Amino acid sequence: EVKLVESGGGLVQPGRSLRLSCAASGFTFEDSVMHWVRQPPGKGLEWVSGISWNIGIIDYAASVKGRFTTSADNVKNSLYLQMNSLRAEDTALYYCARGRGGLAQDAFDIWGQGTMVTVSS
């Protein structure tokens, strides 16, 4: 079964850090383009970051650039999002998602169930 499972969310104070993980199974992780997407409570979807080690792309939304870092471990079949200098506006449900065809430009066909990050004092 193709599956993505996020973990690592929680309550964190403004200015602190948090690291999210996404465990992948059922597909060839190292050939995939992977993304982070977030959704604040009651609001829409926002693309956060994407990575393709095969193609050599890592990119970030302007709202997180310089504060968030995406990485991957092909041995552990896992995607990570290191979030530093967290702000209240980073409060959201964070999803990891897979790019459909292994290309740099493709839709997201597999999504995890998300992990909630709450930034509050």
Residues forming the site for another protein (CB under 8 A): 35, 37, 44-47, 50, 57, 59-62, 95, 99-100, 104-109, 111-114
43 — alpha (psi -120 to 50), left (phi > 0) or beta?
beta
We find the least distance from the C-beta atom of residue 109 to another protein, in angstroms, to be: 5
Q: DSSP assignment of 9-67, as one string? A: -EEE-TT--EEEEEEEESS-GGG--EEEEEE-TTS--EEEEEEETTTTEEEE-TTTTTT
Between 75 and 107, whose beta carbon lies closer to another protein?
Answer: 107
Q: Looking at beta carbons only, is 23 or 61 nearer to another protein?
A: 61
Quick one: 44 or 66, whose CB is closer to another protein?
Answer: 44
Q: How far is the CB of 63 from another protein (least distance, A)?
A: 10
